Amino acid sequence: MKAFAIYASLWALLSLVLPLESMLLPDCFNTLRASAKLFIEGHLLRDLAITAARTFVGVAGALIVGGILGIGIGRTKFYRDFVSPALDFIRSIPVAMLFPLFIILSGIGEISRFFMVLTLATPILIISVASGLNEAFAQRDLRIWFDIHKSTIPRWVPLISMAWTLMPGIISGVKSAISLGLVMVVVSEMLFVSSSGVGYAAYQAYNAFNMPEMYAYILITGMVGFSMNVAFDRVSSFFYIDEQSSIKL
């Protein structure tokens, strides 16, 4: 947070000594005034909520599909041989090239945006789940310990242990999926017929040459994305165990 205070101070200082807006750069004070105005009027929170909802719904669908396929790829050779080529093929296609296809199949609207995010995020989550599952099964000492004590411990204990090992990879995958999904949603809001969302609002401000409002949306979206990344990192670190303090089995 100290770094952000330094950045803000430098930005305010530059705004005082240079005519930033004449250089088409964001002026600190005008951008803050525009942000406050959008917040008070309710437009900012509404657009952020709509864009976030579109992103999270797509990532949630990708988590379901990616979780099922990731478990299959991680533990079954048939799934790995059957799904991996298709996964590599889909990952090789920029999702932006599929925009026209989604529009033809589902029209311009929420369904097409959902499938855009789903197509982008699913491969990321498949790889995260499959990699985490392989890592969990690679813990040979832990599996031997569970086999020795299987008659004295509940069945759910090994499952909880495996889920705990999976969580850092899954959280990292969800973090990447949300970041890229947010980009996809914002681009779709800017380029396709839309009447809401931060992408649409920023693009409308650009068309009206309202630079403070455009930069306000950019700034707030960046701050929200940064806060989410920090939150995911904090949650992910909770599942890591220090090797020096772990129990040697």
Q: Are 167 and 237 in contact (CB under 8 A)?
A: no
Number of C-beta neighbours around residue 148 at 10 A:
11
Token pair for 63: 């988590």
Q: Are 91 and 123 in contact (CB under 8 A)?
A: yes
- 223 in a structural domain: yes
Report how far residue 168's alpha carbon sits from residue 232's, in angstroms, rounded to the nearest whole number: 10
- 200 in a structural domain: yes
Domain span including residue 190: 27-237
- 74 in a structural domain: yes
Burial of 137 (0-12, 13-18, 19+ CB in 10 A): middle
Report how far residue 244's alpha carbon sits from residue 199's, in angstroms, rounded to the nearest whole number: 47
Q: Quick one: pLDDT at residue 139?
A: 59
Which strand (E) or helix (H) includes residue 224? helix 211-237
Q: Quick one: pLDDT at residue 48?
A: 92
Token pair for 245: 């303090």
Q: Quick one: pLDDT at residue 26?
A: 83
Report how far residue 122's alpha carbon sits from residue 89's, in angstroms, rounded to the nearest whole number: 13
- 248 in a structural domain: no
Q: What is the mean pLDDT of each run of 10 residues along the chain (249 residues)?
A: 80 84 79 90 90 92 88 73 78 80 80 88 87 64 57 63 72 88 88 82 90 90 85 73 40
Counting Cα atoms < 13 Å in the Cβ hemisphere of 114 gives 11
- 17 in a structural domain: no
- 123 in a structural domain: yes
- 189 in a structural domain: yes
Q: DSSP states of 152-187 as a string?
A: TS-THHHHHHHHHHHHHHHHHHHHHHHHHHHHHHHH
pTM above 0.85, yes or no: no
- 174 in a structural domain: yes
Q: Quick one: pLDDT at residue 198?
A: 92
Which CATH number belongs to the domain containing residue 137 in this structure?
Answer: 1.10.3720.10
Q: Quick one: pLDDT at residue 58?
A: 92
Q: Quick one: pLDDT at residue 242?
A: 45
Total count of domains within the chain: 1
Q: Are 70 and 243 in contact (CB under 8 A)?
A: no
